[in-house]
Amino acid sequence: MYAHTLITLILIVSVLVLYVIYLKKSMDHKVKKRIEEIEKDIREDALQRSRASLKGKISEHMAPFAGGFGYKASDARFLGSPVDYVIFDGYSDEAEDIKVVLADVKTGKSADLTSIQRKVKKAVEEGSVEWETIHMD
């Protein structure tokens, strides 16, 4: 009787061990699959962000040639940072008076100015803009 109980107990423990091993392998597969899905999502998100960034950079360079720029392309000079353009409005027409405009092109969701752009805008609005001729030896 004791041997029969021992054999039954060994069989039950063996089945439980095999079931735990099965569950672990099953969970490992599910975890690996989920990691692969997350990794794919991260890569796709990075690709979308890269495309949006590239589209924004192209838009910045092409803005003077697109509708809605508001100034002649020949009056605009691309800087890129901290603002995209210095526009000498009236320059190409050889106007009597030229207006100097600092402009930044925004596309998509990133329509907010950066902190440095806000500082530049504030300096212009407060009249903290000067002309200086620098003579080099």
What pLDDT was estimated at residue 109?
66
The answer to whether residue 116 sits within a structural domain is yes
The answer to whether residue 63 sits within a structural domain is no
Report the domain count for the chain: 1
What is the helix (H) or strand (E) element at residue 86, kind and residue range? strand 85-89
Which of 74, 79, 65, 77 is closest to 94 using CA atoms?
74
The answer to whether residue 113 sits within a structural domain is yes
The answer to whether residue 57 sits within a structural domain is no
The answer to whether residue 54 sits within a structural domain is no
What pLDDT was estimated at residue 71?
94
Residue 110 pLDDT more than 80? no
Domain range spanning residue 101? 70-125
What pLDDT was estimated at residue 72?
94
pLDDT tens column, 35-79: 889 999 999 999 998 988 888 888 889 999 988 899 999 999 999
The answer to whether residue 79 sits within a structural domain is yes
Sequence letter at residue 40: K
User: Higher-confidence residue: 32 or 127?
Assistant: 127
Which of 81, 80, 97, 98 is closest to 89 using CA atoms?
98
- 75 φ/ψ angles, rounded to the nearest 5 degrees: -90, -10
Residue 111 pLDDT more than 90? no
The answer to whether residue 89 sits within a structural domain is yes
The answer to whether residue 90 sits within a structural domain is yes
pLDDT tens column, 11-33: 888 888 888 888 888 888 888 88
Q: How far apart are CA 70 and CA 50, in angstroms?
A: 28
